[in-house]
């Protein structure tokens, strides 16, 4: 029989706050973390806004030596892990370390370090390249350093499945525990690529919002006047545990994880199929994995990027899976406040989905002002809402047509 898996700890470093209390309060109050870019001079770029993490000091979370050499995507993941382990009251020791694993997702890794190194080579030659260039650039250094710093010696993996990476990490961690290969998993997503090449690249694709004069109003999922996504950065980490393991140590349980779906569109490099086929099959797979009917889902934390095609096609996919129930459940996008954290999105949004279940509170979709044709579901516009949330679904879809869906249920014993 499959083992039951529960969520016992949460950690967040994101544009609306550092820590669960600060971040969740901002989300429920509908406060945006999107501002003008400060990481570099954005003046020459079509998009000059992003969801940057504010007030983060790496040395507050690790040694000064590590803080100096870690790329931000690693530092964010380490900080979110420390927050999550503290929240769970879970100490990793020499005895239990081999049964605690780490799986994270990251889309682009140390992109900023890569940019700086390439410029350095052209200016000063190859002998001036840092010996930390390769290890600090690769995405799997996030779970690697978490394992090294905290002593978690179980399964150690990194996903690079674009914007679905964080959700794939959580989903596979769920399966690792279900199958008995670990007692607990540190899992989620991280990203820190607010950099010239990232902004220029997405601008070249016409994927980003250019509402530079109104940063807080730029990310507007499902709204008629959406004009692209807003990039964000940060990390979201959840602690998953086998139920009996959590019970033995008297852990507080936020929710039970009950389902995971993953599919491929097989359609286009960057665009989802108009009928939402891949996303629909992904959601259905998660429902089948959980063994529940679609009518049991109360809330969907949508991928909801604020792009013309994603929001429409995801809505079509939801209607395909849920039928008439699609009009009875709530759907919202927290990207309206955090921006799109790319590979980190699935981890942060898993945290918010779990909190929706735990607190019976629906996060809003900020800036939803003008309904559009076909976009006619309950997108929880602008204001958080009290409602019973027994089951929450979280969707993450990535370039290359890679999809992931997670399901969480209120824990009742």
Q: Is the Cα torsion angle 172, 176, 85, 22 positive or negative in sign?
A: positive
Report strand pairing: 299-301 vs 391-398: parallel
Beta strands in 302-358 (DSSP E): 330-332
Which single residue is written with the structure tokens 């350093």? 145
Two tokens, residue 226? 């959406």
User: Annotated catalytic, 303?
Assistant: yes
Cβ-contact 333, 304 below 8 angstroms:
yes
- SS3 string of 47-67? CCEEECCCCCCHHHCCCHHHH
User: What are the phi and psi torsion angles at 74 (to 5°)?
Assistant: -75, -45
Annotated catalytic residue: which of 14, 28, 106, 163? 163
d(CA 143, CA 169): 11
User: Annotated catalytic, 325?
Assistant: no
Cβ-contact 316, 374 below 8 angstroms:
yes
Q: Is the Cα torsion angle 56, 62, 67, 73 positive or negative in sign?
A: negative
Neighbours of 332 (CB within 10 A): 30
User: Annotated catalytic, 168?
Assistant: no
30: left (phi over 0), alpha (psi -120 to 50) or beta: left
Length of the chain: 413
Would you tell me the crossing angle of helices 141-150 and 72-88 to the nearest 10 degrees? Answer: 40
The residues annotated as belonging to the active site are: 163, 303, 340
């Amino acid at each position: 029989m499959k083992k039951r898996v529960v969520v016992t700890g949460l950690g967040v470093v994101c544009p609306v706050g550092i820590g669960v209390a600060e971040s969740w309060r901002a989300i429920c109050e509908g406060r945006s973390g999107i501002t003008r870019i400060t990481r570099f001079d954005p003046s020459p770029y079509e998009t000059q806004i992003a969801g940057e993490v504010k007030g983060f000091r790496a040395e507050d979370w690790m040694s000064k030596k590590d803080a100096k050499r870690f790329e931000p995507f690693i530092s964010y993941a380490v900080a979110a892990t420390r927050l999550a382990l503290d929240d769970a009251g879970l100490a990793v020791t020499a005895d239990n370390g081999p049964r605690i694993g780490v799986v994270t997702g990251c889309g682009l890794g140390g992109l900023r370090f890569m940019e700086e190194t390439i410029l350095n080579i052209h200016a000063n030659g190859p002998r001036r390249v840092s010996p930390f260039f390769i290890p600090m650039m690769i995405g799997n250094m996030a779970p690697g350093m978490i394992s090294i710093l905290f002593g978690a010696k179980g399964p150690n993996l990194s996903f690079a499945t674009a914007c679905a990476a964080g959700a794939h990490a959580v989903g596979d961690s769920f399966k690792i525990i279900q199958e008995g290969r670990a007692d607990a998993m540190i899992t989620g997503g991280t990203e820190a690529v607010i950099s010239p090449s990232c902004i220029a690249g997405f601008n070249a694709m016409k994927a980003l919002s250019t509402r530079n004069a109104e940063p807080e109003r730029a990310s507007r999922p499902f709204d008629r006047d959406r004009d692209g996504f807003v990039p964000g950065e940060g990390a979201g980490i959840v602690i998953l545990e086998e139920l009996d393991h959590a019970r033995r140590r008297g852990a507080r349980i936020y929710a039970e994880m009950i389902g995971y779906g993953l599919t491929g569109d097989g359609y286009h490099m960057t665009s989802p199929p108009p009928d939402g086929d891949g996303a629909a099959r992904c959601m259905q797979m998660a429902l089948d994995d959980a063994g529940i009917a679609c009518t049991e889902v109360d809330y969907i934390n949508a991928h909801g990027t604020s792009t013309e095609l994603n929001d429409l096609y995801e809505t079509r996919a939801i209607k395909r899976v849920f039928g008439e129930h699609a009009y009875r459940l709530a759907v919202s996008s927290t990207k309206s406040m955090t921006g799109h954290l790319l590979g980190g999105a699935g981890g942060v949004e898993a945290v918010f989905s779990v909190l929706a279940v735990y607190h019976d509170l629906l996060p809003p979709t900020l800036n939803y002002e003008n309904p559009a044709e076909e976009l006619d579901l309950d997108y929880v516009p602008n204001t958080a809402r009290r409602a019973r949330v027994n089951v929450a679904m979280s969707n993450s879809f990535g370039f290359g047509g890679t999809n992931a869906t997670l399901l969480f249920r209120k824990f009742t014993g």
